[in-house]
Amino acid sequence: MITNPRIEAYLATLVPQRSELLSRLEEEAAKEGIPIIQLASAQVMRMLVKLHKPKAILEIGTAIGYSTIWLAEAAPEARIVTMELDAERISRARNNFAEAGVAERIELIEGDAGRGLAKHYQFDCLFIDAAKGQYRAFLDLYLPHVRDGGLIISDNVLFRGLVTDPEAASKRQRPLVDKIDRYNRYLLEHPELETSFIPVGDGLAVSHKRSLGRS
Ligand code: SAH
Ligand code: MG
C-alpha cells in the first residue's frame, strides 16, 4: 500500500465484479504470498488496455496468470505472449488459462525473460512485472519489439512507498529501491517514451512510445 490504506481499500470496493476464477486466484495469491497485481491497479490497466485496443501484448512475469487473464479479458481480440521462469507457476498458469477459456490466445514462454525474443515478435502493448531489479534490462530488450504508438505499463514502480522513503527500506531492500528510482528516471528521460506515474496499488508507470523525431 503506497497511498492511504483506507483509500486503497475503498478503491478496491469500487472495482467491478470479477469472475469466480479471478477472485479465487486473488485468494490463492494472498495465501501463498504470490505477488499479483493489486486490484485497483488491475482495473486501471484494464481501462488503459480497453482504450488502447492492442492486437498483441507482451507480459514479462506471468506468475499464476492472474494479470494475464485480466489482459486477455480487456483485449478480447489480442494475442498475448507471457514469460515466466518458475516451473510450478507455469503449470498453474496454463491450467488457469484453460479454465478462463483464453489458452488458445496465449503463448507462455518458459524461462528467463532476460534472454529476449526472436525479431519477428511485435507488440502494441508491453506489461513489465517480473524481477524489479531488472526492469531497465527488460525495457531495453523489449522496447524494440513495441510498435510506435505502443503502450508500456510497469508495475510496482513505487515499491511499497519505499521509493519515496528509502531510509525506511531495510539494508537488503535498499539496492532494489535505488534501482527502481533509477528506472523511473530512466523512463522519464527516455527519448522514445512519454511516461506518467500513477500512485495506485504499488505504483504504475504508464508510457507511450513515440517514434524518434516526433513528439
Ligand atoms: N504479473 C503477475 C505477477 C508476476 S510476479 C500478476 O500480476 O498476476 C513476478 C513473476 O516474475 C514471478 O512469478 C517470478 O517467478 C517471475 N520472474 C522473475 N524474474 C523473471 C525472469 N528473469 N524471467 C521470467 N520470469 C521472471
Ligand atoms: Mg506487480
The chain-wide mean pLDDT, for the chain, equals: 94
215 belongs to a structural domain: no
Ligand 1 atom closest to 61 (CA): 11
Q: Examine residue 130 and state whether it is found in any structural domain, yes or no.
A: yes
Predicted local distance difference test score (pLDDT) of residue 2: 60
Instruction: Categorise residue 161: left if φ over 0, alpha if ψ from -120 to 50, beta otherwise.
Output: left
| Amino acid type, 119 | K
Phi then psi dihedrals of residue 209, to 5 deg? -90, 125
- Whether 18 is in a domain gets the answer yes
**What number is the average pLDDT over the span 136-143?**
98
Predicted pLDDT at 214? 53
Which residue range is the domain that position 123 belongs to? 5-209
Least confident of 11-20, 62-71, 134-143, 183-192: 11-20
Report yes or no on 21 lying in a domain: yes
- Residue of 22, 73, 84 to mutate, ligand 1, most atoms within 8 A of C-beta: 84
> Nearest 5 degrees, angle CA 184-CA 187-CA 193?
155
Residue 149 belongs to a domain: yes
CATH of the domain at 144: 3.40.50.150
C-alpha cell read off for 135 = 526492469
- Ligand 1 pocket by C-beta < 6 Å: which residues? 35-37, 61, 63, 66-67, 83-86, 89, 112-114, 129-131
Q: Does 17 reside within a domain?
A: yes
Cell numbers of 48, please?
488503459
Percentage of the chain beyond pLDDT 90 is 80
Domain count, the chain: 1
In a domain? residue 214: no
pTM of the model: 0.96
The conformation of residue 133, written as its DSSP 8-state character, comes to G
Measured in Å, residue 131 CA sits from the centre of ligand 1 at 6
Judged by phi (left if over 0) then psi (alpha if -120 to 50, else beta), residue 172 lies in: alpha
**What's the gap in Å between 191 CA and the centre of ligand 2?**
25
Is 178 part of a structural domain of the chain? yes
Stretch 187-193: mean pLDDT, rounded?
97
CA distances from 171 to 58, 66, 153, 182 (A): 33, 31, 28, 18
